[in-house]
Amino acid sequence: MLCLNILLLVKDAADVPTVAAHLTQAMRGSRAEPGCLRYDVYHSQAEPKRFVLVEHWADQAALDAHRLAAAYTTIYKPLVLPLIDREGHPATLLGEGDPPAGARS
């Protein structure tokens, strides 16, 4: 399983409602894709221009297919990316699979 946490910061506060609407639409489409185990979008209450995406994909092939699918190519990439700064964080879900590097047993 691949886990991604993606931090988004909207460049202009006036674009927050637009970004929220596009992310909601992209989330609905992404959740229906094969191999999507989780796709959640969070809007920060503490930092109004901040959104967090939490994605879990079955494998690299599912993530690669997602990046070719309509939600990514017709919504996220052309309509959201130009309005935000993005910071991706691939992550390990603790308690799943192997322990993190450097962990002691």
Q: Read off the pLDDT of residues 72-90 as tens digits, 9 standing for 90 and up.
A: 999 999 999 999 999 999 9
Phi, psi (rounded to 5 degrees) for 98: -75, 150
Q: Tokens standing for 55? A: 């994605």
Q: Read off the pLDDT of residues 20-60 as tens digits, 9 standing for 90 and up.
A: 999 999 999 999 999 999 999 999 999 999 999 999 999 99
Answer yes or no: is pLDDT of 99 > 60.
no
Q: Under CATH, which number does the domain 7-91 receive? A: 3.30.70.100
Q: Answer for the pair 61, 4: CB distance below 8 angstroms, yes or no.
A: no
Please give the pLDDT value at position 105: 45
For the chain, the average pLDDT equals 93
> d(Cα 25, Cα 102) in Å, to the nearest integer?
39
Answer yes or no: is pLDDT of 100 > 70.
no
In the chain, where are the structural domains located? 7-91
